[in-house]
Amino acid sequence: MTGFGVRLLGAVRESGPLCAGVDPHPALLAKWGLTDDADGLARFADACLTGFAGSVAVVKPQSAFFERHGAAGIAVLERLLAGFAQSSTLTLLDAKRGDIGSTMDGYADAYLRVGAPLGADALTLSPYLGFGALEPAFSAAREAGRGVFVLARTSNPEGAPVQLAESGGVSVAQAMVDAAAARNAGTPDCGDVGVVVGGTHEHGLDLSTLHGPVLVPGLGAQGATPADVVARFAGTTGPVLPVAARSVLAAGPDPVALRDAARTLADALASAHAGSR
C-alpha cells in the first residue's frame, strides 16, 4: 500500500500545498443561508466537496463542528470523507485525539485502522499524554497507509507555557518534532508522521531533520500571509501545508466561488515560493 507521505507529495505536485479547512461553525452556516442543523451541515459539506475535490491537495474537516450535531453530524462527516476518497484530494481529519492504553486503541480503531468508520487519509493527534502513548495510532496508520500530524507548536497563546517549557535544554515542542523525525528516519521520500506548527508567529523550531509534512494553520484570516509561511518554514525537509479556512470559505456557498478562492490563494503561495528563490 502506498504510504500517506508519498501520496501527499503527489497531491502537492498536482495541486499545490494549500490545505482548505472545512469548518462549518454556526456563524458560517448562517452566513451561507443554511440552518444550524444536520440538513444545513449536509448542504455545507456538499458544497465543499464539489468546490474542493480535485482542485486542492488536502482538505481538513474540523471534527468538532460535525460532532456538535450528534449522530446525524457524524454521518455527514462519514459521507464527506467517502466523497473526497473518490477524488485526488486527500483528507486530514482535525480531531486532535490523544490518550493512553486501550482508550488510544479505541481511537485508532475509529480513525486509523483499515476499514475505520471515520477513516481519513490522515488525523491530527495530541501528544501531551506522552508521545509514546500514541503508539497504537502510529501502528494503525502505518498498516492502513494513513498519516498522522502531531501537535508541536500551536499558534494559540495558551499553548506556549506547555510547548515552550524546556527539559534538558530542549523545548517540549522541539522534542515532539524530534520524536516525529525519528519515526520518519530512513523513509526514502516523505514520512507519514507530520507535525502541526502555527504560521502566525516565529516558531523557533529546527524542522530540518523532520523528513515529513508540516501542517501550518493560520494562513489568511488568522493573519499569516503566503510570504510569512514561506519565510518561516524555509529549510523544512518535507511538504509544508498552509491551512486556510475562513478566508476561503467566505466565498461560499457557491462551489465554483470556493474553488476560485482556493485557487487564488494557492497561486499566491506559488508566487511567494518563486519570489523567495
Question: What is the distance between the alpha carbons of residues 220 and 228, in angstroms, rounded to a whole number?
Answer: 11
Query: What type of residue sits at position 239?
Result: P
- Give the helix, strand, coil percentages of the chain, each rounded to 5: 50, 15, 35
Cβ atoms within 10 Å of 170's Cβ, excluding its own = 12
Whether 31 is catalytic is no
Query: Which candidate in 7, 60, 69, 96 is catalytic?
Result: 96
Three state DSSP letters for 195-255 = EEECCCCCCCCCCCCCCCCEEEECECCCCECHHHHHHHCCCCCCCEEEEECHHHHCCCCCH
Non-local (6+) Cβ contacts of 222 within 8 A are: 155, 199, 200, 246
Residue 112 main-chain phi, psi, to 5 deg: -125, -25
Phi, psi torsion values for 74, nearest 5 degrees: -65, -35
β-strands 166-167, 170-171 pairing: antiparallel
- Cell numbers 483499515 correspond to 114
100 CB-side CA count, 13 A: 3
Amino acid making up residue 84: F
Quick check: 77 and 110 in contact, CB under 8 A? no
DSSP state of 12: H
Return the active site residues.
Answer: 96
